[in-house]
Amino acid sequence: MLKMGELVLKGLNRQRFEQRLMSNLKRRISPFGNFNVYSMQSTIYAEPAEDADIESAFEAMRRVFGVAAVCRCAVAPKNMEAITASAIEYLRDDLSAAGTFKVEAKRSDKAFVFNSPQICAALGESILNAYSHLRVDVHAPQTTVVVEVRDMAAFVHAAPVPGAGGLPVGTGGRAVLLLSGGIDSPVAGYMMAKRGLEILPVHFFSYPYTGAEAKDKVLKLADIMSLYTGRAATVIVPFTEIQERIRKCCPEDMMTVITRRFMMRIAERIALDNGCGALITGESLGQVASQTMEAMAVTQAVCTLPVLRPLVGMDKEEVVAIARKIGTFDTSVLPYEDCCTLFTPKHPKTRPTLAQCLSAEEDLDIDGLVQNAVEGTASGA
C-alpha cells in the first residue's frame, strides 16, 4: 500500500497526478517482476506476482516522488478471526523482537461490525495471549500493528515506512539541470524533481582540460539521481573552444561570469529544443564569486526562461546532508576537476554589472560559439 501525501489535496485535476504517479511506479518497479498497480480510496496498491522481487521493488517505491509512505501488507478477509490470525503470523518477526507494542485501527468500511477502538482492544488481547513477553505501550511502542479495514479487504501491516514525498515527476513539466561534478547541482536536481519536474541533465565538458574520469563521474551522479528523478540521458556539451576564447579575449577577473553567461545561453537553447520550460542551477547566494546577487543577475540576463535555484537560501551543511541522504555525496567529492574549476581566475569580480559583461564580450562571436557548442552536443550513457 502506497500512501499519497499532498496529492490528496488536489482538486479536479487530482486524477492526472494519480495517473502519472502510477505510471512512474510501474516503470520503476518493472525490473523486479510483474505488479498490478491501481488506485482506490486515496491509496495506491501494488500487488506482486509470485516470482516478483518484493524487497527491491519496495526500496524502489520508497524513492518515487509522490509517495508519502509505503506499507508491506498482509491481506485478510473482513472478520476478526482472519485479521487476528493474519496479524499474529505476518508480523511474527516484529512482535517477537519487540518488548512493547500498540495496535492502530482504521475502519473506512463503516459496515464492518467492529469500530476502531473495538478492533484495537480485541486484536491487542489476542496478541498479548500469543506473545506473553509483550506489554502494551501506546505512547512509545517498539512496534506498531496497523489494521486498515477497507472496502475490498482488511490490510495488516507494521508502521508505514516514509516515502520520498513531493509530487510525481512529470506533473510540473520539464527543466534542464546544469549538472557539474560538484555537490550542489545533483541536490538541486533532486529538489526540483521532488516538485514534479522531469529533469534533463546538461554537462559542460572541456576536453582535454577535463578527462574521461570527470565525465564518468558526472554520468554516475546522473545515474544515482535517476533513482529519484527517473532516467534521462545526460547531454554533454563541448565547451573547450568557448573557454579558450574567453581566456584569450576577456579580462581575467570577468572570466567566471562570462563563462556562466555562455553556459546559460547554451542550456536555454537545449531546453527550448527539448520542450523544457526552465533551467535549474545549484547556486547558493554568496557561496562563491559567481553566486553573488549581482553575478546571478547578469548570468540570468541572457535567458528568457525562468532560472530555478532551489539551494539559494541554504548553507553548505544543509546541502551536504541532502547529498548524503540521496547517495550523491561520495561521488561528488571524487577528485576530478570540472571545466569551471580549471579556468577560475585568481581574483574574480564579485559584483559585475551588465555593462561590464557586454564590454568584456565585445570580441567574442557569441552566436557562432553557442551554435558550435549546441551542434556538438552528445548524449551521455
| Mean pLDDT estimate for the chain | 94
Distance, in Å, from the CA atom of 128 to the CA atom of 100, rounded to the nearest integer, reads 10
Average pLDDT estimate for 48-73: 94
According to DSSP, residue 233 is labeled: P
Q: For residue range 359-380, what is the model confidence (pLDDT) as tens digits? A: 999 999 999 999 999 999 998 7
DSSP string covering 133-174: T-EE-SSS-SEEEEEEE-SS-EEEESSPEE---SB-TTTT-E
What pLDDT is recorded for position 50? 83
**47 near 68, Cβ under 8 Å?**
no
Distance CA 267, CA 237 (A): 9
Residues 259-286 have pLDDT tens digits of 999 999 999 999 999 999 999 999 999 8
Please, which pLDDT band fits residue 307 given cuts at 50, 70 and 90? very high
pLDDT for res 171: 96
Residue 99's pLDDT band, with cuts at 50, 70 and 90, is: very high
Section 318-332 average pLDDT = 97
Range of lowest pLDDT (149-153, 326-330, 344-348): 344-348
Q: Residue 10: which pLDDT band, with cuts at 50, 70 and 90?
A: confident
List, for residues 330-349, the tens digit of each pLDDT value: 999 998 766 555 567 778 88
Q: What is the percent of the chain with per-residue pLDDT over 90, rounded to a whole number?
A: 86
Query: pLDDT tens, 183-239?
Result: 999 999 999 999 999 999 999 999 888 888 989 999 999 999 999 999 889 999 999
Residue 28: is its pLDDT beyond 90? yes
